[in-house]
Amino acid sequence: MSTWLRNNQVPALAGLAAALLCAAIALIFFYAPVDEDGLNQKIFYFHVPIAFTAYACFGWGAWKGLLVLWKGRPGADLESYVAIHQGVIFGAMTLITGSLWAKFRWGVWWTWSERQLVLFLVLFLFYSAYFMLRYSLEPGPQRENLCAVYALFGVVLIPISLLAIRLAENYIHPVAFNKHGPQMATSQFATFMVALAAMVALAGALYRVELLGKRLDARLRELRELLA
């Protein structure tokens, strides 16, 4: 890795995210065809990558939680917290974009009969409650360990949420990927992959920016105590 890249990881990541987002929007509206579902299918290109990114953020938070418990790595607790925070933000976007699509296609904002929707909501609420746990405890090793255990428990819900649609008997939520691969045209799949890369890069950039802010905050607090 070049010295410039090593010293400017956050701006480089943010630039990559911006470039990929522009490319994704261009591909969605000027390259990917409008299929038989109509124009509303264009929501899929952002909704599904945002959902996958939310899963990835929760998974990353759980991995960092595991590092807290396993190796007691300093800083892993903060990284786990920021990753879960990102996951909740992307989770909220998933629920809102999904509801907008559902309102047009199904005529309702939400349906409790859809297991995938309900399981995603459970996952989202589970990780939203993480913040209640975190801020109800005094900072220290006990909080780090409890939050790490909580983050790890939640990760079990991710495969259940992903598999829910395949377990459902009567579903109305569309299946874009099954055991035969992606159920879409090559141009649509290429567009989807660019949108997914854009969302992952965006989450990565936001994660690094938030982490920088939190670390700066902690150092300033330490400096204030030293100067007091």
Binding to other proteins in span 10-29, by CB under 8 A = 25
Residue from 19, 129, 137, 216 touching other proteins (CB under 8 A): that is 216
CA distance 170 to 111: 13
The least CB distance from residue 179 to other proteins, in Å, is: 29
Which of 55/150 has CB closer to other proteins?
55
Q: Is 100 in the site for other proteins (CB under 8 A)?
A: yes
76-84, 101-109, 126-134, 169-177 -> range binding other proteins (CB under 8 A): 101-109
Rounded Cα distance, 62 and 152, in Å: 5
Question: CA-to-CA distance for 194 and 172, rounded, in angstroms?
Answer: 26
Which among 44-52, 115-123, 130-138, 176-184 is the span making contact with other proteins, rule CB under 8 A? 44-52
Residue number, 68 or 184, with CB nearest to other proteins: 184
Query: Using CB under 8 A, which of the segments 68-76, 106-114, 164-172, 202-210 binds other proteins?
Result: 202-210
Yes or no: say if 140 and 105 are a contact pair by the CB < 8 Å rule: no
Write the DSSP string, 164-187.
HHHH-SS--S--SEETTEE-S-HH
47 binds other proteins (CB under 8 A): yes
Q: How many CB atoms lie within 10 A of CB 96?
A: 13
Spatial separation of the C-alpha atoms in residues 38 and 66, rounded to whole Å: 44
Among 119, 202, 204, 207, binds other proteins (CB under 8 A): 202
- CA distances 136 to 81, 83, 123, 147, 214, Å, are 14, 19, 20, 11, 19
Binding site for other proteins (CB under 8 A): 25, 38-40, 42-43, 46-47, 50, 89, 92-93, 96-97, 100-101, 103-104, 202, 206, 209-210, 213, 216-217, 220, 223-224, 227
